[in-house]
Amino acid sequence: MSAPLVELRDISIAFGGIKAVDHVTVDLYPGEVVGLLGHNGAGKSTLIKCLSGAYQADAGEIFINGEKVEIKNPRDARALNIETIYQTLALADNLDAASNLFLGRELVTAAGFVNDAAMESETRKIMGRLNPNFRKFKDPVKALSGGQRQSVAIARAVYFNAKILIMDEPTAALGPHETQMVAELIQELKAQGLGIFLIEHDIHNVMKLCDRASVMKNGRLVGTVNVDEVTDEDILGMIILGKSPEPAQSERTQ
């Protein structure tokens, strides 16, 4: 098998003596969705923030397409086509959708001024694809519903041709219709060959959306399984008891 799209190898981070992530290795292939599961505080978000550039690992290495990379900050991650949709959405509430979508990567005019009209035009285009009901282009995003805000966050990740997408509980604040919308989008992006890390609490969503699932507990990796070879109960057992099912079922892990 060719090199994975992403490999986080032997990552460790400690905060003031507490090992938030303890020698964890996970990987991700193109066109694949890998679920990251575990209790609150299991270390999923911390681990993934090493990839998105929000944190730097104390130890361990990151490989993209087999090449070792250094990700020191969110700019480095973006340069490697890694986009993140954060649990907290990471939107500036006082700015409109277009300003948020292009934040840090504004379109500018020849004279170097930000080109709001061009950015709004692009935002209308991508929103027309992702969420055709969206039309609050002039309002600050604090005036938007949870689903509308989520579509802004997703549009931001999708617009810039992400190769690697990190989604931190993308449906946590959404209603059933919007959750369905996100699920469809994940399928679509997967079909386009993106690799997606999905942090998710809802086992039902994991079974439906993910190809593999890596389970963490207390900062350690319990194991990685192919979702269609296990049951809901197997995964729940991993999350709650920290116990791997029979090793035969996880041959794709290293």
Partner 1 sequence: MTDTAPPQTDTGKRSLFQTLEIDSRLLGMIGAFVVLALAFNFVTDGRFLTPRNIFNLSIQTVSVAIMATGMVFVIVMRHIDLSVGALLAFTSATMGVMQVSVLPQTLGLGIGNPLIAPIAIATGLAVGTLVGAFNGWLIGYQRIPAFIVTLGGLLIWRNFGWYESSGQTLGPLDATVLQFGGIDGTLGETMSWVIGALAAAGAVWALWRARANKVLHDFTVKPVWAEVALASIIITAIMGFVWLLNSYQMPAARLRRVFAARGEIMPEGFSAGYGLPISVLVLIVVAVVMTVVARRTRLGRYIFAAGGNPDAAELSGINTRLLTVKVFALMGFLCALSAVVAQARQTYHTNDIGTLDELRVIAAAVIGGTALAGGIGTIYGAILGAVIMQSLQSGMAMVGVDAPFQNIVVGMVLVLAVWIDIQYRKRMGEKI
DSSP code at position 2: P
Which is nearer to partner 1, 39 or 163 (by Cβ)? 163
Q: In the bound complex, what is the minimum distance in angstroms from residue 92's beta carbon to partner 1? A: 4
Smaller CB distance to partner 1: residue 54 or 173?
54
* Shortest spacing between CB 79 and partner 1, in angstroms: 9
Q: Which residues bind partner 1 (CB under 8 A)?
A: 52, 54, 73-75, 78, 84, 86, 88-95, 99-100, 103-106, 108, 112-115, 117-118, 120-121, 124, 128, 131-133, 135, 137, 139, 143, 181, 184
- Buried/exposed code over 96-114 (b: 16+ C-beta within 10 A; e: otherwise): bbbbbbbeeeeeeeeeeee
Buried b (16+ CB within 10 A) or exposed e, 31-57: ebbbbbbbeeebbbbbbbbbbbbbbeb
Q: Coil, helix or strand for 114?
A: strand
Q: CB within 8 A of 159, min separation 6: which ones? A: 101, 122, 126
CB 11, min distance to partner 1, A = 19
Q: Closer to partner 1 by CB, 93 or 251: give it.
A: 93
Q: DSSP code of 6?
A: E
Q: How far is the CB of 78 from partner 1 (least distance, A)?
A: 6
**C-beta of residue 235 within 8 angstroms of C-beta of residue 206:** yes
Query: Nearer to partner 1 by C-beta: 69 or 207?
Result: 69
User: Least distance from C-beta 67 to partner 1, angstroms?
Assistant: 21
